Amino acid sequence: MNSETEKKPQLALNIMVVDDVPANLQMLTDVLKAKGYRVRPVPDGELALATASREVPDLILLDVNMPGIDGFEVCRRLKSDPQLAAVPVIFITALNDVADKVKGFGLGAVDFVTKPFEFQEVEARVSTHLELARLRKELKQHNERLEETVAQRTLELAQANARLAILDRAKTDFLSLISHEIRTPLNGIMGVVELLLLTLSDDPDAAKYSEMYRQSRQRLMMLLDDALLLTQIGADANAGMRQPCRLDDLLIQARLLAVPFANSRMVQLATVPPNLGLVQGSSDYLARALQSLLETAVKFARAGTTIKLAQKTVPGEITLIIEADGLAIPLESLPRFFDLLAISELITPDGDLGIAPALAERILTLYGGAVSVENMKPPGIRMTVRLKCA
C-alpha cells in the first residue's frame, strides 16, 4: 500500500467547497478528492446554504469574496441554524487584513486559508479541523451518554432510597408497636406472679424469689424503655436539632434518675461537678444518654463503692469521665461494647448489658459527640464522654 493510500481517511468525509471562481473550485475539489474525501463543489452562497440544509457536511471551505451574499453572511446564517451551527467553517480569502480575520472568527469560523493556495497547507488544515470536529462530536456523545447514565443511576438511587425508607419506617413502626403492645400482656403476667409470690409468704425462699422477680422485672422494663426510645429517635424529625444545654443540669437529672438503680446495687453516685459548661443537643435525649451510662457503670461497680465523675475541657468540646471500681470488661467484648447486636453477650455476672450502652452512643453521636470505654487497673471501667461545646 503506497503512502498516498495510507493518508486517505477510512470514511469518506463530506466536505463542501464554496467558491465563485470555477478554476479555484475545480482545483480544491480535485485535491481533496485525491485524499479520499467526498467533495461537493458549490459556486455561490445561496446554493451553499440550500445544499448544506439538505445534507449536513462535515466541513465547509468557504470563499469570502463572492457576488450576492459574501462568505461572512453565509457563515453567519450557517451558525444561526441549529442543524448547521456545529459544522466547522474554514474561510478561503485573499485578504490579509487582521480586521477581516477577527470578523471571521467572531462569526464562528475555525480557520483561514489564504490565496494563492498551498495544497499541503489546505490538506493539513482540513484534516486537523475534521479531526477536532470528530473529537468534539465524540465528546458530546460521551457526555450525553454520561448524562443518561447519571440520570438512570440517580433514578435507581432514588427508588432504592424510597424502598429503604419504607423498610426503615416499617421496622420503626414494628419495634414501636412491640414496645407498646407487649406491656399489656406483660402487666398481666407480672400481676399473676405477684399474686403467686403473696401465697408463698410462709416459704423460707420467698424473699429470694421476690428479689429474682424484682430484678428480672426491672431489667425487662429497662429494655422495653430503651427499645422504645431508640425507635422514637429514628422517627423523630426534630431529634437532630441542637440547642445549648447546661451539662450540670443534664448530669443532675441523669443522676437523679439513676439513683434508684444504684441504690438497688448498693452503689453510690458521686456529686455532680459544678460549672461543666454548655453543650449542644436535646436536653431530654442527652439526659437519657447520661443516665444509661451511669447505670451501665453501676453494673460494673463493686457494692459499697462510688461511681466517680470528672470533667475536663479542650477547645470545642467538654469531656466527662465516668469511672467504676469493681469489674473489667472481657477483652473480646471491648470492641463491641456499644454495638446493639452485642446485647446477648454475657459481659457482667448478672448477664448482658441490654441496649443502654448502644442507646447512649447513638444519642451522643446524633449531636456530634462520642463515647469510649476502657478497662482500668485495679479492675474497673472508665467511660469517656465527649460533647460539643455550645
The three-point CA angle 112-117-119 to 5° equals: 100
pLDDT at residue 240 in the model? 59
Asked if the structure places residue 3 within a domain, the reply is: no
In percent, the amount of the chain with pLDDT more than 70 equals 87
* CA–centroid distance for 252 within its chain: 38
- Tracing cell 440517580 back to the chain, one arrives at 154
Mark whether 243 and 127 lie in a shared domain: no
Whether residue 378 has a cis bond before it, omega within 30° of 0: yes
Contact 219, 229 (CB under 8 A): no
Measure CA of the first residue to CA of the last residue in the chain; give whole Å: 80
Residue 128: which CATH number?
3.40.50.2300
Question: Is the predicted pLDDT of residue 218 greater than 50, yes or no?
Answer: yes
Cell numbers describing residue 96? 490579509
Mark whether 244 and 363 lie in a shared domain: yes
151-168 per-position pLDDT tens digit: 898 888 888 888 777 766
Average pLDDT over residues 340-351: 66
Average pLDDT over residues 217-222: 75
Class of residue 248 by CB neighbours under 10 A (exposed 0-12, middle 13-18, buried 19+)? middle
Mean pLDDT of the chain: 84
308-330 per-position pLDDT tens digit: 999 987 888 899 999 999 999 98
3-state secondary structure 253-280: HHHHHHHHHHHHCCCEECCCCCCCCEEE
Average pLDDT over residues 44-59: 92
pLDDT at residue 84 in the model? 92
Contact 306, 268 (CB under 8 A): yes
Last residue of a domain, which of 105, 140, 175?
140
Mark whether 381 and 245 lie in a shared domain: yes
In percent, the amount of the chain with pLDDT more than 90 equals 38
pLDDT at residue 6 in the model? 44
More confident residue, 237 or 333: 333
- List of residues 6+ apart from 206 with CB closer than 8 A: 197, 200
Q: Which of 71-75, 153-157, 210-214 is the most confident on average?
A: 71-75
Which long-range contacts (C-beta less than 8 Å, at least 24 apart) are formed by 3-11? Answer: 4/34, 7/35, 7/36, 8/35, 8/36, 9/35, 9/36, 9/37, 9/130
Last residue of a domain, which of 140, 170, 192?
140
Asked if the structure places residue 60 within a domain, the reply is: yes
Last residue of a domain, which of 140, 175, 206?
140
pLDDT at residue 168 in the model? 66
Asked if the structure places residue 172 within a domain, the reply is: no
Asked if the structure places residue 198 within a domain, the reply is: no
Asked if the structure places residue 130 within a domain, the reply is: yes
pLDDT at residue 42 in the model? 94
Distance, in Å, from the CA atom of 287 to the CA atom of 367, rounded to the nearest integer, reads 13
How many structural domains comprise the chain?
Answer: 2
The three-point CA angle 36-42-47 to 5° equals: 140
Asked if the structure places residue 100 within a domain, the reply is: yes
Asked if the structure places residue 102 within a domain, the reply is: yes
Average pLDDT over residues 3-28: 74
Mark whether 133 and 248 lie in a shared domain: no
231-252 per-position pLDDT tens digit: 667 655 556 578 899 999 999 9
Give me the domain span that covers residue 14: 9-140
Residue 320: which CATH number?
3.30.565.10
Asked if the structure places residue 370 within a domain, the reply is: yes
